[in-house]
Structure 1
Amino acid sequence: MTVEIELRAARVRYGPLEALHGVDLAVPAGAVTVLLGRNGSGRTTALRALAGTVPLSAGRVVWRGADVTGLHAHERARRGLCFVPDLRAVYDTLTVAENLEIAAGGGQFERALDGYPALRPLLDRRAGTLSGGEQRMLAVSRSLLSSARVVLVDEPTQGMSPAVATRTYELLRTLDAAVVLAEQRLPSGLGAAASTTVLVHELRRGSVVFSGEPGERGPARSEPDGAT
């Protein structure tokens, strides 16, 4: 498989704390990659390092053979990277329609409404007044409306009902992009489509402890919660 984007010996520090310890992580084109781990494992930091929202203290980010370590997040976005964080992922003071218009670059946003019909009656509502699950639908809609080559989503189904969560994984699987999800647990909904390649990188305390297909991963071992 062709590698779309990757971390090479990536280290990230938050003050005196090193959150990633020389992580090597390759994201294939056209596949769904899951960064798995509990709070404090480094999964969110790895996602942010790919997005460019946290700087590396050492190592590199390589995108299709080009070193993009020094590119800011907005520059990576212009190159075709869509990042949906777990927090502050929508514009609270704008309406749902205005959020979708921004995500669509001023164009049509019907695809988002087809994916999440529950957003149709909410178009005139301010995003900050939505429930947690509704805000998450709106946030994930950004990935549906972009033409990104790399889509990074942190906790994509947080606050969603089981049915909407299943629908969300179906939508993410259909994207023509390298999709990377940060999750605490391996989503069961990702294994439903045999045509979709799913790879897992499990992180623990800032290091990758497993890389492979979901079926190759043994029972998860417990670890203490952390602060990262």
Structure 2
Amino acid sequence: MALEMALRAARVRYGPLEALHGIDLPVPAATLTLLLGRNGAGRTTALRALAGAVPLSSGSVLWRAADVTRLPAHDRARRGLCFVPDRQAVYPSLTVAENLELAAVRHGAALDAYPALEALLARTAGTLSGGEQRMLAVSRALLSPPGTVLLLDEPTQGMSAPVAARTYALLAERAAAGAAVVLAEQHLPPALARPKVLIHELRRGTLTFTAEATERA
């Protein structure tokens, strides 16, 4: 299994508190990877470290074997990394259409992924419900170019069960098509308890369990 990215002995500190305690985290290419754990386990911090949204206090971030530890988040994005955080993932003062245009996402393609967005194109993103904002935010990851790295923090929060199931199916399709997809979730979604889905369980900033999702379900 070829590696797309990896954290190596990664430590992250927020002031006096250490959120990641020297973890090694592989991100295979063409694979859907889940980071599981309760709030405070370190899964969000691991995503942010991969994205360059937080600096490492020690350790390294590798991307296709190159050390990108000091590469800023915007340069990682230019190289093909798409990070969808759990909060503030849309521009609230812009319309849905303008959010899609900024992400270079075609309206028609976004509507194929989430038809419910069509009626919302003229609305400002800040007036949408939580689930509608997640659809808007996730659509840019789903429609990013092939071979990219997709990092999504709790992508289906606020979505209805059918829309969440469709989102997981679409993300699995992106992984099957070659993208390295990493999701942070509190629990294993039943829709992803399938072969070729890799899970890493974190607890208090350490990696405690790694397996295929079928072994954890």
Q: TM-score range by the shorter chain?
A: over 0.9
Q: How do 1:209-220 residues align onto structure 2 when only pairs under 5 Å count?
A: 209-217=208-216
Q: How do 1:11-160 residues align onto structure 2 when only pairs under 5 Å count?
A: 11-104=11-104, 108-147=106-145, 149-160=148-159
Distance in 2, Cα, partners of 1:145 & 1:32: 16
Letter in 1 for 2:170: L
Shifted more, 23-32 versus 141-150: the winner is 141-150
Figure out how many residues of one structure are paired with residues of the other and give that number: 213
Kept in 2, the 8 Å contact 1:103–1:145? The answer is no
Q: Secondary structure at the match of 1:174?
A: helix
Deviations 1:110-130 (A, max 9, x none): 221101000001000000000
Q: How do 1:175-214 residues align onto structure 2 when only pairs under 5 Å count?
A: 175=174, 176=177, 177-191=179-193, 197-214=196-213
- Scaled by the length of structure 1, the TM-score of the pair is 0.91
Kept in 1, the 8 Å contact 2:193–2:214? The answer is no
Give how far 1:145 is off.
2.3
Letter in 1 for 2:27: V
Letter in 1 for 2:202: L
Shifted more, 32-41 versus 169-178: the winner is 169-178
Partner of 1:225: none
- Scaled by the length of structure 2, the TM-score of the pair is 0.95
Please tell me the root mean square deviation across aligned C-alpha atoms, in Å. 1.2
Name segments (4+ residues, structure 1) moved above 4 Å.
none
Give how far 1:90 is off.
0.2
Distance in 1, Cα, partners of 2:172 & 2:68: 26
Give how far 1:174 is off.
1.4
Distance in 2, Cα, partners of 1:213 & 1:167: 21
Letter in 2 for 1:114: D
Partner of 2:168: 169
Give how far 1:217 is off.
2.9
Q: Secondary structure at the match of 1:35?
A: strand
Give how far 1:142 is off.
1.1
Letter in 2 for 1:13: R
Give how far 1:103 is off.
1.3
Letter in 2 for 1:93: S
Distance in 1, Cα, partners of 2:20 & 2:118: 41
Give how far 1:179 is off.
0.2
Letter in 2 for 1:131: S
Identity of counterpart residues, as a percentage? 70
Kept in 2, the 8 Å contact 1:157–1:165? The answer is yes
Shifted more, 148-157 versus 88-97: the winner is 148-157
Give how far 1:171 is off.
1.0
Give how far 1:108 is off.
2.4
Q: Which structure 1 residue ranges, 5 or more long, are not aligned?
A: 219-228
Distance in 2, Cα, partners of 1:217 & 1:9: 25
Kept in 1, the 8 Å contact 2:192–2:213? The answer is no
